[in-house]
Amino acid sequence: MLIIQTSFIPVAEDVEENRAMFGIIICGSGNGAAMTANKHQKIRTGLCWNRETAQLTRQHNDANILSLPARFISLELALEMVDTFIETPFEGGRHQNRVNKIACS
């Protein structure tokens, strides 16, 4: 399930509590949204600005929320990035150790 909301906190909570597998958040630069969401346990938000960064944030960081910078990307690119993010699996392997270190204790 994918949930898109206009507020960052409910998206992070839905992903954190397994009500959604992925979330998409949008703000002007994407930075504030990403920082807000990343305060939640189990959340790994990737701020992405093209299809390659959307792919890599999933492959290498197992990101579960995509943050989009609305002021800097077109609607067409945003939709392509969402598709890429959702369709790209986490590679695991050598990346798993880094992902394990992300969580706050």
pLDDT digits (tens, 9 = 90+) for 84-96: 999 999 988 888 8
For residue range 40-94, list pLDDT tens digits in order: 999 999 999 999 999 999 999 999 999 999 999 999 999 999 999 999 999 888 8
Among the listed residues 27, 40, 48, 95, the single catalytic one is: 27
**Model pTM score:** 0.89
| Structural domain contains residue 102 | no
| CA distance readout (Å), 24 to 10, 19, 94, 101 | 11, 14, 26, 23
Domain harbouring 15, CATH code: 3.40.1400.10
Count structural domains, the chain: 1
Of the pLDDT bands very low, low, confident and very high (cuts 50, 70, 90), residue 2 is low
Question: Is residue 27 annotated as part of the catalytic site, yes or no?
Answer: yes
Residue 56 in domain:
yes
Q: Is residue 13 situated within a structural domain?
A: yes
81 within domain boundaries = yes
Predicted confidence at residue 105, as pLDDT, reads 56
The pLDDT score that the predictor gives to residue 101 is 75
Q: Please report whether residue 9 resides in a domain.
A: yes
Identify whether the C-beta of residue 11 lies closer than 8 Å to the C-beta of residue 5.
yes
Question: Does residue 105 sit within a domain?
Answer: no
Residue 40 annotated to the active site? no
Q: How buried is residue 23: exposed, middle or buried, by Cβ count under 10 Å (0-12/13-18/19+)?
A: buried
- d(CA 59, CA 66) in angstroms, rounded, equals 13
62 half-sphere exposure, CB direction, 13 A CA radius: 17
Which residues span the domain enclosing 10?
Answer: 2-95
Cα–Cα distance, 96 to 100 (Å, whole number): 6
Instruction: Write down the pLDDT at residue 70.
Output: 95
Residue of 40, 48, 60, 95 marked active site: 60
DSSP for residue 42: T
Q: Is residue 103 part of a domain?
A: no
